[in-house]
Structure formats: structure tokens, C-alpha cells
Amino acid sequence: MTYHVLYNPLSNNKQGADSIEKVKPYIDGEIQAIDVREVTDFAGFFAGLGKQDAVVLCGGDGTLNHFVNDIADVDIKNDVYLFPSGTGNDFKADVAPNVEGLIKINDYIKNLPVVEVNGMKRRFINGIGYGIDGYCCEAGDEAAKKSDKPVNYAGIAVKGLLFFYKPANATVTVDGETHEFKHVWLAPSMNGRYYGGGMQVAPAQDRLASPKTLSLVVWSGTGKITTLLRFKSIFKGEHIKYEKMIHTFTGKNITVKFDRPTALQIDGETVRNVTEYTVHANA
């Protein structure tokens, strides 16, 4: 039996190749290491595997997002595992917080929701961030260009809350029902519970629920200081108790429109100058 280990050298602050050695204690069989960026035809890749072969994807949420989009139309019969080796690992926090080593992900990479934004369609594994979370990813990308040091997203968030991010007004439509919000800080749509390196933004969301639905969480109406003081509650999912400022919805089709362009993030990947996005649950 061969384990085909797909690794991303750019994950975990460009230390992704180190995961090859780290994963070895959890694998009982032959290992074939492959740079995931070199696999250009995943249908052909999986068709060439033996029946008993397994695939191990090493990386974080960004690597997982690229993988699930690359295999969107592939019929996968082999076992597929994730070896979490990114910086945030929100998928792991959601589905296997106490597991060390490999996580079987076959059930989690099927029937994924799709986001439509700026003329593109993309599957996502954890969630869509729109608001200050998108701003943080945008600012983090700029910081990463200037330094090899790990990006301090917490510091970016605090400075953004106090000085740089300006809340927008939003119109949200969930399964045909429309709502208006003023002074919106966050408006993410979630397939899982976590994003942003440990923020439990949608604590009631179940990514394997049937029928499939998504969670929209709108944080609105608060000033800078109140938002900053209560922001830490999102890491434990306790922000939802503040019902005057947190509004949660569940549905299969969600559209969010802002009254000005704002950055958006898809599983940590930044999309700039967004005024509207739509997500669809599958199955």
C-alpha cells in the first residue's frame, strides 16, 4: 500500500516541505511525496492510483481549499486524509480538535457549497469572510510581502477596529427573505464553525447536516470600543449571546451586498473590491 503525500511548500509560512518528515510517524506503508502544485490533472492522478492506495494532503485551510476546487468533478474512490500543517487549521478545529495525525476527509470534501463573487465561482471548505475579516486578510497579504515573519492577524484586527476599517451598510437575502443592517463589521457565511485561526463565528453550524444549510452571521450596530471589547468572545462562540448586535440566519442560498467595496476572504484567500457575494449550499 502506498500513501501519496501531497504537500504544499508555501503552507505554514513556507515551511510546508517539513510536513513530509512530520507525517511519517502516522503512516504505516510506503510514502511517495508529491508537490501538490505539480499535479495539474487530478482526474488522471486518482485514476492512476491502486485500489488500496491512499492520499494524504499536508497543509492548512488554504491548501485544502485549493484541493477541493481541483477535485470538484473527480470521482474519488481512494481514502483521502488531511495532515494539518498550516498556520490556522480551522478545519481541524471544527472536525477533529483532539486528533493528532491523520484525519480522513472523504465525507467532508463532497457536496461543498459554492460562492459566486466578482464573476467567479469557487467551492469553500470553512467559510466566506466579508467585512473586517476580509480587511485583515488583505492587510495580512501586504504585510507578508514586506517580511518573512509570521503575520500578526490579532494586531491587524485591533488596529483595523480602532483606526482603519470603516463599517458598511448591508442588505442580506436568505432563501428569498431580505434584511437591512447598518454599520456592519462582519457578514460571513459559514460551512463550518471556525475561521480566522480559531474564531468560532458560527457555533451552531454543522457541515455534515442533512439537508445541507449554511450559517450567516451579521455583526452590526456597535461602535469601535464595544466591538473591540466584545470581539474576544468570538473565539469561544460566546458573541451570539449579544443578540442586539449579532444576527444569525440559516439557509441554502445567501446573498450579501455592501454599500461600498470591501475585501472578502474564501478560506483565508483574499478577494479584493467586493460589493456583493452569493453562496449556495449543495445537496
**Boundary (domain end) residue, out of 108, 140, 171:** 108
Q: The domain that contains 162 carries what CATH number? A: 2.60.200.40
How many domains are there within the chain? 2
Are residues 238 and 119 part of one domain?
Answer: yes
Which domain covers residue 81, as residue numbers? 2-108
Are residues 144 and 13 part of one domain?
Answer: no
Among 188, 184, 192, 197, residue whose Cα is nearest residue 235: 197
**Boundary (domain end) residue, out of 57, 75, 108:** 108
Per-residue pLDDT tens, the chain, 283 aa: give them: 899 999 888 776 666 678 888 999 999 989 999 998 899 999 999 999 999 999 999 988 989 999 999 999 899 999 999 999 877 789 999 999 999 999 999 999 999 999 999 999 999 999 999 999 999 889 888 887 888 777 777 788 888 888 899 999 999 999 999 999 999 999 999 999 999 888 999 999 999 999 999 999 999 999 999 999 999 999 999 999 999 999 999 999 999 999 999 999 999 899 999 999 999 998 6
Strands in 28-150 per DSSP E: 30-35, 54-59, 79-84, 103-104, 114-117, 120-123, 127-130
**Boundary (domain end) residue, out of 70, 89, 108:** 108
Q: The domain that contains 14 carries what CATH number? A: 3.40.50.10330
- Helix, strand or coil for residue 48? coil
The DSSP secondary-structure symbol of 18 reads G
Are residues 53 and 183 part of one domain?
Answer: no
C-alpha span between 15 and 62 (Å, rounded): 14
In this structure, are residues 240 and 203 in contact, taking their beta carbons and an 8 Å threshold? yes
Are residues 210 and 98 part of one domain?
Answer: no
In this structure, are residues 25 and 7 in contact, taking their beta carbons and an 8 Å threshold? no
| pLDDT of res. 283 | 65
pLDDT digits (tens, 9 = 90+) for 7-23: 888 776 666 678 888 99
| pLDDT of res. 12 | 64
Are residues 58 and 148 part of one domain?
Answer: no
Are residues 145 and 248 part of one domain?
Answer: yes
In this structure, are residues 127 and 196 in contact, taking their beta carbons and an 8 Å threshold? no
Are residues 15 and 29 part of one domain?
Answer: yes
pLDDT digits (tens, 9 = 90+) for 225-234: 999 999 999 9
C-alpha span between 260 and 27 (Å, rounded): 49
